[in-house]
Amino acid sequence: MENYIENLKALKLELETLATDWDKTHNTLDANWVGVRMSSKKWRIAKKLGLKRDGYYGYLLLSKSVNSCGSDFAHEVSQICAKYDVWTSVSEYQL
């Protein structure tokens, strides 16, 4: 269980780093929202990580609106999530 929590912490940190750096390096207009959520069944783990529960999406590891290359950002997020042995779901919506 501790390994699972450590994986989630590392995943969250990597996603936050990507989200911060993304706006600095991409300049084309393609507005999207990308969210990474974890299972609502794992609410105890989400609380340990300090995640807040969104009324519609559940517990989000990442919630980011981007104005540039949104589909590419979602693809990068999916690749990062695939590296970790945790259950996550990546959602992308064009704004």
Report how far residue 79's alpha carbon sits from residue 12's, in angstroms, rounded to the nearest whole number.
13
Q: In what order do the strands lie in the sheet with 32-38?
A: 53-54, 58-66, 32-38, 88-94
Amino acid at 26: H
Q: Is the pLDDT of residue 79 over 90?
A: yes
What range does the domain containing 53 cover? 2-94
54 vs 69: which has the higher pLDDT:
54
> Does 42 have pLDDT greater than 90?
no
Residue 68: name the closest of 35, 16, 21, 23 by CA: 23
The predicted-structure confidence for 82-94, as pLDDT tens digits, reads as follows 998 888 899 998 8
Which tokens is 94 given? 């064009």
Number of domains in the chain: 1
